[in-house]
Structure 1
C-alpha cells in the first residue's frame, strides 16, 4: 500500500512538473510575442532618434537637447512604462524581465543626465551619463543572454527576432 501511495505521489509530482514546464514555455512565448514584439517599433524609433544626434551625428548641444527632450525621452518613457506593465506568469520569465527593466531604467536615467549635463554645461554629468549608458547596455546584454538561455532550455524556436536594441 505504501508503495502504491508513493507511486501515485511520484506520478502526481511528474505530472505537476510537466505542467510547470508547459507553463514556462507558454509564458516565454507570450512574453516575447505579446510583450516584447509590440514594443519593438517604439524602441527602434527612440534608438534611431538618439543615434541621429550622438556620436558622428552630433552637431550641437541645442539639437541634442531638443531631440532628447522632445522626441527620444518621451518615447523611451512610454517604452519603460509599457515594460513595467508586463507581468510574466512564471518566476523564471519574471526574473529575466526584471533584468531588462533594470537595464532600460539605467538607459533612461542616462538620457535624463545628458539633459542635465547640457543644461548645466557640466562635462562630469555627461561622463556619468555615458557610464550609465554603458551599464544599461551591459544589463540589457545580460537580459538577452538569459532570455536566449531560457528559450534554449525549453527548446523553443522563436521565428521572430526579439533582440533588444541598445544605445
Structure 2
C-alpha cells in the first residue's frame, strides 16, 4: 500500500478550502464593488451585477445618474434587488475552478522544481549527509583555489 504524498494531502486539506473562500470573497466583492455602464434610462430598470455571470439585479429607476454613465450596487432598502441563487452558485464554481487550476499548476511547478534540486553532498561525497554548517561557512569564506 502506498502512502499519499504529504504535499498532496496538504494541498487538499488547506488549498481547497482557501481557494473556495478566496472564490467566495472574490465573487461577492466583485458584484458589490464593480460599476456597470448604463446607456439609456430604461436600462436602469434592471441593472445586472456580477461576473462572469450576472447574479444580482437592481432597479435603479428612482436614481437620476448622468447618462451614459456608470452605476454601482445601491442600498437594497431604497432600491429593489433580485438575487439569483443558481447563477451565483455557477459563478462561484467557475471562479473556484479557475483558482483551483492555478493552485494545482503552481503546486505541480513547485514539486517539479523541488525534484530538480540536487541534495547537498558532504565531504564524504554521499548524498543526504551535508557538512556541518560551520564547515560550509568556512568553505564559502576560503579564497577560490585554482583547479588543476
> Structure 2-normalised TM-score?
0.28
**Larger relative contact order, structure 1 or 2 (CA cutoff 8 Å, min sep 6):** 1
> Structure 1-normalised TM-score?
0.25
- Which structure's CA Rg is the greater one? 2
Comparing both structures, which one devotes a greater share of its residues to strand? 2
